[in-house]
A and B are shown apart, each in its own frame.
Chain A
Amino acid sequence: MLPTLLEQTTTRVNAEIDPALHIWGWEIAVYLFLGGLVAGLLILSALLLWRPREQPPSRILQFAPLVALALLSLGMGALFLDLAYKLHVFRFYTAFRPTSPMSWGAWILVLIYPVAALSGLVALGPDARAWLLKKLPLGKVLAWAEGKRQALLGATLAGGVGLGIYTGLLLGTLTARIQWNTAVLGPLFLTSGLSSGAAFLLLFKLDEVDRHRLVRWDMLALVVEAVLIGAMLLGFANAGAAGQLAAEALLGGAWTASFWSLVVVMGIAVPLLLEGIEIKKHLPLVAVTPTLVLLGGLALRAVLLAAGQDSGFRMLP
């Protein structure tokens, strides 16, 4: 009895004493990150493909919506791993609850698949189309989709925005976690998703024009992200005792180092500098920059997820 008690109380990891309730692990962080990345990819590819071009667009852009779907499936896989009752997935689709972001998310995910798949067909260049038509009898579908090009791309764009905001709202509605109790989370995750999406595309070979645009959009998204982070911290600091506790965790508390070093410095400031140098000195883009942006995006989700689960109103005196 005695040694056990000592162990429990002096190391302070006993669930009964410090119930940290870390029930969301890496799976959710990966899912939120991939969700944001996919949202960014869908939005950016819809924008870049909006006007039909004379030359087929960069190869990665032709496949972007389909790649996005593959990544989304990967994220859903991570989410599925996290579910306690895996066979109960279907229950999400037996009802729609307008006040539950989980319900919204489940339905957004389902709607994105057909829309993005059809956009994916439209996006394909002539070579890929010819190859695909030889393999699968999709001629009619393709012709129909081609006719609705702008509508499909518009729907993809909307789906991307919805997905991006929803990944933030999912945490944002859980107001009992004071770290997540902020309206900024939705837009923050959306812009972070945009920068991740641009970074992902920049990892591949692109046309000069597309690359140029993506680098600029990526920089814009990073700047907006930084501003939103500032807004979030300011909001916390002015939101009473609970908000101040939330700000404390990121301004001197347990999550300060990861948040500022990984998210702000590694994920935002250094890539911005590198991209600025690239434009100013006309240097070839290297894979390091987009990799840092992607790592920063992942860190943002992981840190906010962990910090949020650490926090709660029980911390208030």
Chain B
Amino acid sequence: MENKTSSEAPFWNPYLAGIVLGLVLLGSFVVMGNGLGGSGAANRVAIGAAHIVAPQAVENNAYMGPMVAPGQHILDDWLVWEVLGVFLGGALAAYSAGRMKLVLLRGPRATVASRLVMAILGGLVMGVAARLARGCTSGQALTGGAALAAGSWVFMFAVFGGGYMVAPLLRRYWK
């Protein structure tokens, strides 16, 4: 079920991969004093784009306004560079494993159109959720989980809870 072809390198053993991931996270804490993130960059890029299109609306917004205050640049943030790195690292890994290819991965019974719509919609819901929770699976569950932050553990169980609640409804879409 992992859609492997003979030329692709296999995925790492999950426990081993987890330990390596944990070491990367530990390294981030040890060097920078903070953990990893995934959605903060999306937020900043989106706000930056919105600020170009509608400067007034963004500046007067209670949530986004402080981020575009004079004297600071919206993209001048650790998370933005980190996500640029995630993209580069992902490309390096996928290419060296022989997996880099323009495709649309989807469940065996999902149509192209439904996959496209679900990807955008799912992303949209996660975008709202990540802002509300001050982080996503990377910034809250992984980072906060490792830092033993109480709220992050609540968040992590909630993510699995939310996923398991809705998964039966989408069975035809993924299975």
Q: Which of A22-30, A102-110, A269-277 contacts its partner?
A: A269-277
**A266 and B70 in contact (CB under 8 A), knowing A281-B96, A283-B95?**
no
Instruction: Give every chain A residue within 8 A of B174 (Cβ-Cβ).
Output: none
- B157 CB-CB contact with A under 8 Å: no
* Complex Cα–Cα for A257 and B81 (A): 8
Secondary structure at the B interface, as helix, strand, loop or mixed, is helix
Does the CB pair A270–B91 fall under 8 Å?
Answer: yes
- B100 CB-CB contact with A under 8 Å: yes
Please report which residues of chain B, range 69-115, place their CB below 8 angstroms from some CB of chain A when the two chains form the complex: 70-71, 76, 81, 84-85, 88, 91-92, 95-96, 98, 100-101
Does the CB pair A274–B81 fall under 8 Å?
Answer: no
Instruction: Give every chain A residue within 8 A of B81 (Cβ-Cβ).
Output: 257, 261
Instruction: Give every chain A residue within 8 A of B91 (Cβ-Cβ).
Output: 270, 274, 288
Does the CB pair A274–B84 fall under 8 Å?
Answer: no
- A227 CB-CB contact with B under 8 Å: no
Set A11, A265, A281: member contacting B71, Cβ < 8 A: A11
**A288 and B70 in contact (CB under 8 A), knowing A261-B84, A270-B91, A273-B92?**
no
Task: Map CB proximity to B onto A1-36 as digits: 1 under 8 Å, 0 otherwise.
Answer: 000000000011100000000000000000000000
* Complex Cα–Cα for A257 and B84 (A): 12
* Complex Cα–Cα for A260 and B101 (A): 28
Instruction: Give every chain B residue within 8 A of A274 (Cβ-Cβ).
Output: 91-92, 95
Does the CB pair B88–A266 fall under 8 Å?
Answer: yes
* Complex Cα–Cα for A69 and B84 (A): 33
Chain B residue with Cβ nearest A276: B96
- A286 CB-CB contact with B under 8 Å: yes
Does the CB pair B96–A286 fall under 8 Å?
Answer: no
* Complex Cα–Cα for A135 and B95 (A): 45
**Interface size band for A:** 10 to 19
Instruction: Give every chain A residue within 8 A of B98 (Cβ-Cβ).
Output: 281, 283
* Complex Cα–Cα for A281 and B95 (A): 10
* Complex Cα–Cα for A11 and B69 (A): 10
Instruction: Give every chain A residue within 8 A of B85 (Cβ-Cβ).
Output: 261, 265
* Complex Cα–Cα for A11 and B101 (A): 48
* Complex Cα–Cα for A40 and B100 (A): 28
B65 nearest CB across to chain A (Å): 15
* Complex Cα–Cα for A277 and B98 (A): 10
B76 nearest CB across to chain A (Å): 8
Task: Map CB proximity to B onto A252-288 as digits: 1 under 8 Å, 0 otherwise.
Answer: 0000010001000110001001100110010100101
A52 nearest CB across to chain B (Å): 36
Set A12, A270, A286: member contacting B88, Cβ < 8 A: A270
Does the CB pair A13–B96 fall under 8 Å?
Answer: no
Instruction: Give every chain B residue within 8 A of A281 (Cβ-Cβ).
Output: 96, 98
* Complex Cα–Cα for A13 and B76 (A): 17
A250 nearest CB across to chain B (Å): 16
**A288 and B96 in contact (CB under 8 A), knowing A261-B84, A274-B91?**
no
* Complex Cα–Cα for A11 and B70 (A): 7
* Complex Cα–Cα for A265 and B91 (A): 13
Does the CB pair A288–B100 fall under 8 Å?
Answer: yes
B80 nearest CB across to chain A (Å): 9
Instruction: Give every chain B residue within 8 A of A277 (Cβ-Cβ).
Output: 92, 95-96
Set B76, B92, B100: member contacting A270, Cβ < 8 A: B92
Q: Would you list the 10 A-B pairs with minimal beta carbon distance, nearest first?
A: A277-B96, A270-B88, A11-B70, A286-B100, A288-B91, A261-B81, A274-B95, A11-B71, A273-B92, A283-B98
Known contacts A270-B88, A281-B98, A286-B100; 19 further A-B pairs (Cβ under 8 A): A13-B70, A13-B71, A257-B76, A257-B81, A261-B81, A261-B84, A261-B85, A265-B88, A266-B84, A270-B92, A273-B92, A274-B91, A277-B92, A277-B96, A278-B95, A283-B95, A283-B98, A286-B101, A288-B91
What is the interface of chain A, defined by CB distance below 8 A to chain B?
11-13, 257, 261, 265-266, 270, 273-274, 277-278, 281, 283, 286, 288, 292
30 pairs from A and B in contact (CB 8 Å cutoff): A11-B70, A11-B71, A12-B71, A13-B70, A13-B71, A257-B76, A257-B81, A261-B81, A261-B85, A265-B85, A266-B84, A266-B88, A270-B88, A270-B91, A270-B92, A273-B92, A274-B91, A274-B92, A274-B95, A277-B92, A277-B95, A277-B96, A281-B96, A281-B98, A283-B98, A286-B95, A286-B100, A288-B95, A288-B100, A292-B88
